[in-house]
Structure 1
Amino acid sequence: MRYSAIALAFLLLGCGTGTSSLPTITPGAPSATGSPLPDLQPRLDAIGVLLTECAARLRGEPVAPADNCAHVMPDVTGVIDEVEKQSAKLPPAGQAAVTDVRRQLAEIAPCEPWFAAGGVSPDGQLDARCKKAWDALYSGYSAVRNSA
């Protein structure tokens, strides 16, 4: 299932989605020493693309059960598990970012129905809380990606 999400992410990247004002998760400036986790770069990039594509879905359009966006949290968790196993290779900021993403994944878990509904609900407080959790997860994942 993870590989299908990665394949979709590459497909979406190749096809493009037109002009978008959404931020994207992209690699930071290359370091002189290279990536501390070169073996994980393809997965980190693919999940970053998937998160970027899923962010566009949070505009009120329900997420179909077969849509990979409905399964993005397990994909993020899987790649963060792999990064965490090798986190000693990351700079301190990257290690802190991994910890932050773990916390953010726990915070967004109650928002699964909100996410499946396209990022809207009749409860304004739930909308605000879940949007904040999504934004934090997106930002945290970007920090992990850029440090790796």
Structure 2
Amino acid sequence: MRYSAIALAFLLAGCGTGTSSLPTITPAPASSAGSPLPDLQPRLDAIGVLLTDCAARLRGEPVDPADNCTHVMPDVTGVVAEVEKQSSKLPPAGQAALAEVRTQLAAITPCEPWFAAGGTSADRELDARCKKAWDALFRGYSAVRNTA
């Protein structure tokens, strides 16, 4: 678990912390104590911060090739797998959002070169498909976070 925290710290530093007017993944008004999955709240919140920071980078901000946010997907997949293990505790909306995130994680897999290029390519069809997959993943993860 300690190694996960260290890796997460590197990811937080690596994905940038610039401010933007983009939407963010933030906790719902309820406290962790009222959450169906209080033990996962810190990880869910941390991944939400990473996705929020990466969204800014994938929407046109200059991206260093070493700082392209592709490394976030394994962490998203990991926390989603942990939520799935306890999904029976989630309300129906959370279970539906979880299924949507799983679908979006599969849809985003072919977009790794797009991520590596900072969310742009010479292929408009690829740009549109990957942007749509990214936006759906972002919305779905936010819904999972807010129901968990």
TM-score range for the pair, normalised by the shorter chain length: 0.7 to 0.9
TM-score, normalization: structure 1?
0.87
Runs of 4+ in 1 over 4 A off after TM superposition: 8-12
- In structure 1, stretches of 5+ residues that fail to align are none
Match of 1:3 in 2: 5
Q: Secondary structure at the match of 1:24?
A: coil
Number of matched pairs:
144
Across the aligned residues of Structure 1 and Structure 2, the Cα RMSD in angstroms comes to: 2.4
Question: CA 1:43/1:8 → structure 2, altered by over 3 Å: closer, same or farther?
Answer: same
Identity %, equivalent residues: 70
User: 1:19-77: per-residue Cα shift (whole Å, max 9, x none)?
Assistant: x111100011217x700000000000000000001111111634534x37221110000
Residue ranges of structure 2 left out of the alignment (5+ in a row): none
Whether 1:107 aligns to 2:104 is: no
Deviation at 1:2, TM superposition (A): 4.5
Q: Are the aligned partners of 1:5 and 1:68 in contact in 2 as well (CA < 8 Å)?
A: no
Deviation at 1:16, TM superposition (A): 5.3
Q: Where does residue 52 of structure 2 map in the other structure?
A: 52
After superposition, where does 1:56-75 map in structure 2 within 5 Å?
Answer: 56-58=56-58, 59=60, 61-65=62-66, 67=67, 69-75=69-75
| TM-superposed deviation, 1:121 | 0.5
Write out per-residue CA displacement over residues 93-124 of structure 1, whole angstroms, 9 at most, x where no aligned residue.
00111110000000000001001100000011
